[in-house]
């Protein structure tokens, strides 16, 4: 089989990068949108891997995402940035109920609307 690194898909390249990052068993792992172009089953596998590293190896994971819904089951707390500034820090149970920043108020309203459909 003759293939080159440039022949792999974007999703495959993302998986390779994740494998390279976790292979060293780092104490801190920064994961910036690690699953943004993956299918939902693959996303689940990646989040389970990161969770396992956190639980079994004590790896701290900084998970960066624009999609709060996709990561809500995998985080302990949120640090919400807006225009490059931290506007909210809260645990996952209270982030939407007691938020004070307008960006989270909007997200909360949209979320409640779609959950009620």
Q: What confidence tens digit (pLDDT) does each residue in 79-104 have? A: 888 888 888 888 877 776 776 777 77
pLDDT at 5: 77
- DSSP E strand stretches across the chain: 28-32, 60-64, 77-82, 85-91
State the helix-helix crossing angle for 10-23 and 40-52, rounded to 10 degrees: 10
Instruction: Indicate the pTM of the whole model.
Output: 0.75
Over residues 61-71, the mean pLDDT reads 85
User: Would the pLDDT of 30 be above 90?
Assistant: yes
User: Would the pLDDT of 26 be above 70?
Assistant: yes
pLDDT at 116: 64
- 31-45: pLDDT as tens digits: 999 998 889 899 999
pLDDT at 114: 66
């Amino acid at each position: 089989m003759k293939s080159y690194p440039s022949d792999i898909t974007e999703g495959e390249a993302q998986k390779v990068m994740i494998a390279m990052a976790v292979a060293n068993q780092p104490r801190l792992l920064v994961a910036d949108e690690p699953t943004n172009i993956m299918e939902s089953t693959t996303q689940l596998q990646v989040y389970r891997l990161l969770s396992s590293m956190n639980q079994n190896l004590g790896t701290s994971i900084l998970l960066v995402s624009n999609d709060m819904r996709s990561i809500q089951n995998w985080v302990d707390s949120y640090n919400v940035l807006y225009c490059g500034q931290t506007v909210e820090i809260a645990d996952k149970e209270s982030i939407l109920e007691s938020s004070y920043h307008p960006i989270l108020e909007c997200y909360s309203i949209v979320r409640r609307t779609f959950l009620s459909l």
